[in-house]
Chain A
Amino acid sequence: MADGSRSRLFEAEDSYEALNELFHERGWTDGLPIMPPTEAAVARMLRATIRRPEETLGVLPPRQGEATVERVAINAVMAGCRPEYLPVLIAAVEAVADPAFNLDGVQATTHPVAPLIIVNGPAARRLQINSGYNCFGQGFRANAAIGRALRLTLMNVGGGLPGAGDRATQGSPAKYAYCIAENEDANPWQPLQVEKGYDRGQSTVTLFGSEGPHNIQEHLSNSGEGILLTIAGAMGQAGSNNILRHGYPLLTLGPEHAATIAADGYSKDDVKRFVWERARYPIDRLSAEFGAELYPFNEGQGGMALICERPEDITVIVAGGSGKHSSWQPTFGHHTRPVTRLIAGDGE
């Protein structure tokens, strides 16, 4: 890809408050204060990568902005990233720029879709990206700053501004920051990057265009089958884009649920098939006009609407701490596919 232009410099009053007011007035923030992206701070950030500042990682719609390494680094500074987070962010930007991710649709849609970054491999542990207690929540700098930096990049480079390039009807808190690591130590099966063809020693990001987590609480069943029945019931709900148009839904098992399911002999593929066979919604419980839309996509399924075409279209990861909770992330239907990218410098 051709090199992009270098970023412009702005002179501003040398005051943290004044700089933040300027950034708010110009619409360059997500509503929260930013760290000023001074020349010195951006230069420090850029030292964390061997990529050239003017190198274009991708073109981000709807503005068709060139996401150069330098522009990504600027947004990383603003979000509060430490320099060592930059390679993760670079891989995430490359992933969302992949046509399979369909950033055009993800940015502009009325659906509350947000790019979820899942980090696997040694980088996740080295950077202390939380994969345990409250991994989707607050309290961990790497999760918050990397997720926020991607959002700022999508706004400031891609033009995903609410009401303009981002037409989300209600949006989602996940659109502030949405980044976790997989809890590989608690995963009884292969971690995600190995399933995608990489080695355990390699670090990757996998991006999903998904809604925020939908919790699945299951404190009562003491068997894998029991837990999976509840999970399938939660995932086969009306109103998701996966019921509407299939696609690639994500199931995030809590470690205790994963351990119980695995102890009962289920492989990861077994989990996918079990859920695929049961996460279905009776079309005749929906309006006639909605049903008319669903029937052609679910021929031969006995009047049930599926969440995806095939078991292998479901991704299963393990994340979180102790407790009897899992979650699923409905995705933007068939309009987006998960995309995995290697994090440069980590087992490459």
Chain B
Amino acid sequence: MARLESTARGMPDLRLALTRHPIGGLRPPLVVEKARAMVETVVESIT
């Protein structure tokens, strides 16, 4: 979905930070765990 949207908006190579579904319904500690695992990817994507 993210790639479809970025391509449709003229940014086919936009760097994406992806995490596995789901986020909704997870207990807060698991959400924090997923967020921590994403930090490095987000930093790489925007720097």
A residues apposed to B, CB below 8 Å: 61-65, 108, 159, 164-165, 167
Contact = CB atoms under 8 A, between A and B. Distances in A.
Interface of B is mostly: helix
A159 B8 CA distance: 10
B24 to A, nearest CB: 9
A63 B4 CA distance: 7
A311 to B, nearest CB: 30
A295 B39 CA distance: 31
Contacts of B9: 64
Contacts of B18: none
Contact of B1 (A62, A64, A65): A62
Interface of B: 1, 4-5, 8-9
B21 to A, nearest CB: 9
Contacts of B1: 62, 108, 164-165, 167
Contacts of A64: 8-9
A151 B8 CA distance: 20
A64 B5 CA distance: 8
Contacts of A62: 1, 4-5, 8
Contacts of A108: 1
A159 B5 CA distance: 10
Nearest to B27: A289
Contacts of A65: 8
A65 B9 CA distance: 10
Nearest to B22: A110
Nearest to A165: B4
A108 B3 CA distance: 13
A62 B3 CA distance: 10
5 contacts: A62-B4, A62-B5, A62-B8, A108-B1, A164-B4
A165 B4 CA distance: 7
Of all A-B residue pairs in the complex, the 8 with the closest CB atoms, nearest first, are A64-B8, A63-B8, A62-B5, A62-B4, A165-B4, A108-B1, A64-B9, A164-B4
Nearest to B2: A62
